[in-house]
């Protein structure tokens, strides 16, 4: 069976990020992450997605971010999309029970930990929305601390892409690691910088002239070793 390739006319992208926070440290490179990833997705020489199929959610409250996520996912569903890419850059918060939250601008770690409020629950919000859209293939990319916890519970971050179905997760770190950025040396977070470089310029692969998710994973793993990060 030949591996499937993304069909630009049937691929939608939702890019979410938070750079400004009330209770967490700000992450200025998030804006550059979103800018350049959006440009790459729209670039006809790379992915060539139509402009109305790439949506951005930045520096919103948790309620508004979930509302927009639901709206854009429903839009993709109505358009009979084959693939939905969800990307998030910002703070990630892992509770002691391993429940994982994406931090919005007003998110308070104490409220997330005690009540599960003020943050965006990965299981109860993000995954619920993506499943509800019933799009055959979901590609989830998380650039946040401890994001590897989302690939647990029986799901594989390296599932086969031979069929156009399933959910595939690529994270910037394991469930026990933090993710890094350094504005003095790089305008992006380290993980997204390596991701953009690979997608823009390609990687050496003996198996295919195209970039597969598993090949991308191992490429990023090698690229981020020096940053003490393990995607």
Residues 130-164: pLDDT tens digits?
999 999 999 999 999 989 898 765 444 444 434 44
Q: Is 144 helix (H, G, I), strand (E, B) or coil?
A: coil
pLDDT of residue 215: 83
Q: What is the pLDDT averaged over residues 78-96?
A: 96
pLDDT of residue 230: 65
pLDDT of residue 159: 43
Domain range list for the chain: 8-171
CATH 3.90.1580.10 fits 8-171, yes or no: no
The contacts of residue 172 (CB under 8 Å, 6+ apart) are: 142, 143, 144, 147, 179, 189, 190, 191, 192, 224, 229, 231
Torsion sign across C-alpha atoms 155, 161, 165, 171: positive
* Cβ–Cβ under 8 Å, residues 152 and 175: yes
Half-sphere exposure of 85 (CA within 13 A, CB side): 21
**C-alpha–C-alpha distance, residues 53 and 9, integer Å:** 8
Nearest to 217 by CA among 131, 175, 162, 156: 156
Model confidence at 228, pLDDT cuts 50, 70, 90, reads: low
CA distances, 80 to each of 5, 9, 15, 118, 178 (Å): 17, 10, 19, 32, 36
Q: What letter does residue 98 receive in the DSSP assignment?
A: -
Beta bridge partners of 152: none
Give percent of the chain above pLDDT 70: 86
The contacts of residue 82 (CB under 8 Å, 6+ apart) are: 7, 10, 11, 135, 136, 137, 164
User: Which residue, chain included where needed, has tokens 């508004």?
Assistant: 64
């Amino acid at each position: 069976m030949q591996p499937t390739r993304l069909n630009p006319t049937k691929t939608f992208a939702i890019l979410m990020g938070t750079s400004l926070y009330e209770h967490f440290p700000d992450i200025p490179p998030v804006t550059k992450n979103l800018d350049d990833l959006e440009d790459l997705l729209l670039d006809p020489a790379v992915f060539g997605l139509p402009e109305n199929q790439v949506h951005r959610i930045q520096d919103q409250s948790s309620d508004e971010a979930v509302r927009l996520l639901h709206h854009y996912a429903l839009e993709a569903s109505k358009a009979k999309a084959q693939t939905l890419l969800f990307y998030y850059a910002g703070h990630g918060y892992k509770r002691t029970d391993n429940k994982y939250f994406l931090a919005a601008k007003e998110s308070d770690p104490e409220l997330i930990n005690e009540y599960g409020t003020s943050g965006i629950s990965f299981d109860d919000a993000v995954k619920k929305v993506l499943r509800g859209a019933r799009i055959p293939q979901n590609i989830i990319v998380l650039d946040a601390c401890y994001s590897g916890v989302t690939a647990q519970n029986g799901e594989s971050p390296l599932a086969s892409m031979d069929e156009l179905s399933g959910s595939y997760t690529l994270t910037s770190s394991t469930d026990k690691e933090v993710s890094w950025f350094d504005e003095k040396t790089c305008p992006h977070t380290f993980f997204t910088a390596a991701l953009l470089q690979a997608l823009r310029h390609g990687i050496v692969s003996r198996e295919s002239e195209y970039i597969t998710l598993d090949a991308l994973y191992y490429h990023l793993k090698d690229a981020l070793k020096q940053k003490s990060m393990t995607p």
